[in-house]
Amino acid sequence: MDEKIIHVVSPSMPPFEEFTKEIYSIWETKQLTNSGPKHALFQRKLEEFLNVKHVSLFANGHLALEAGIQALDLKGEVITTPFTFVSTTQAILRCGLTPVFCDISTDDYTIDASKIEALITENTSAILPVHVYGNICNDEMIEKIAKKHNLKVIYDAAHAFGETYKGRNVAELGDMSMFSFHATKVFNSVEGGCLAFSDDTKEDVLNSLKQFGQMAHTDSVPYVGTNAKMSELHAAMGLLNLKYLSTYIEKRKKVVSLYRDRLSQAQGIRLCKEKAEVIYNYSYFPVLIDADASGTTRDIVCQKLQQNNIYARKYFYPLTSDLECCRKRNIDAYVPVAKYVSDSILTLPCYSDLELDDVDKICDIILQEIQG
């Protein structure tokens, strides 16, 4: 067995010498947090890059999502997807709201916008869709439904940083978009996240929420907040990785292209179709293993890869609607498509430093298992 270990993700990092140079000034200012100069510059760079009026930086994407829900003053029920990372659902629950689970599309695994309206009640205050694997939600239909029923839209865009849809940056969609800058994302600041938005009235609110609910330069504490500030060191990493983002994405594109060349015609494997109007960041590479057509299962393929020190991931599994934190609240969910996809999906290793020879090796193992 090959001793080399291939993880499903690996962080992209700038040259070490550049990072030490970038953080040198922090030792001079001795300002490690509380919206220092690196934080301010990072915020401005992101506003330019994402083509949005406002960006609010956070210690991580989860806290950003919670703050976004609070800032939009959401109440009651929020329609969302169960095919997502647990953070999406837990942010809703931790804000005292009830997630209402909508099934997903068979094409790209994002929320099925055609099924949203049937779930709206007098208690619905928002829609929280997720751009899954970098696949962009049907924003046109979601926006139309939201306007018709006077609902807010806050996107979990953790997988979609840097992407554009019909010429618009995904950060421009909805009332707010949350991005995660976790170490394993296409773009990272080690840990971190942000909210992108255009409403001027939300800037001070969000700044207060991440600073214990305090209003800047006053003794006023109008909100129940938390400590969610991004440090200067994390902002410095973000500034450098933003500089190298296009290089990271181009390398990922080569990895994904080879996967598609090798696996697109394989019997029993279903790949997401790329849309011409989307410029992708190639954040993940999911494959759906159709047990009936392939003669094997997702779990067997995953095990075979692991036997060769290749660690793919059942992502997302289980559905968040099946988690104990939802079940004990008696939250019902009829989501047959999401259930099937969750039981069949496998995300393969995909990162900028993944060698193409390793991609070939991964494909060889999968094809051998499927073809017998």
pLDDT tens per residue across span 194-232: 999 999 999 999 999 999 999 988 889 999 999 999 999
pLDDT tens column, 54-67: 999 999 999 999 99
90-98 average pLDDT score: 97
* Overall average pLDDT of the 148-169 stretch: 97
Which residues, at least 6 apart from 33, have a Cβ–Cβ distance to it below 8 Å? 229, 230, 231, 232
The verdict on whether omega for the bond into residue 316 sits within 30 degrees of 0, i.e. cis, is: yes
If 0-12 CB within 10 Å is exposed, 13-18 middle and 19+ buried, where does residue 15 land? exposed
> Residue range 325-341: average pLDDT?
95
CA 355 to chain centre: 24
Distance CA 30, CA 71 (A): 31
Calculate ∠ Cα 216-66-312, nearest 5°: 130
pLDDT at 372 over 90: no
Collapsing DSSP to helix, strand or coil, 99 comes out as strand
Average pLDDT over residues 252-273: 97
- Overall pTM surpassing 0.95 (yes/no): yes
pLDDT of 2 reads 57
pLDDT tens digits, 101-120: 999 999 999 999 999 999 99
The rounded distance, in Å, linking the Cα atoms of 147 and 83 is: 25
Mean pLDDT of the chain: 97
Domain ranges of the chain: 16-240, 245-371
Considering the four listed CATH numbers 3.30.365.10, 3.40.50.970, 3.40.50.880, 3.40.640.10, the one that applies to the domain covering 16-240 is 3.40.640.10
Q: What is the rounded CA–CA span in Å between residue 229 and residue 33?
A: 7
Query: For residues 120 and 110, is the Cβ–Cβ distance under 8 A?
Result: no
Cα separation values, 214 from 34, 118, 225, 227, Å: 12, 40, 8, 10
Using the predicted structure, report yes or no on whether residue 257 has a pLDDT greater than 80.
Answer: yes
Q: What percent of the chain has pLDDT over 70?
A: 99
Supply the Cα-derived Rg of the chain in whole angstroms: 21
DSSP state of 200: T
Angle between helices 298-307 and 356-371 (to 10 degrees): 130
d(CA 327, CA 321): 7
Q: What value does the mean pLDDT take over residues 32-42?
A: 96
Fold of 245-371: Aspartate Aminotransferase, domain 1 (3.90.1150)
Which tokens go with 209? 């929420």
| Element containing residue 98 per DSSP (H, E) | strand 98-101
Buried-state track 217-226, b at ≥16 Cβ within 10 A, e below 16 = eeeeeebebb
Give the whole-angstrom CA distance, residue 93 versus residue 99: 7
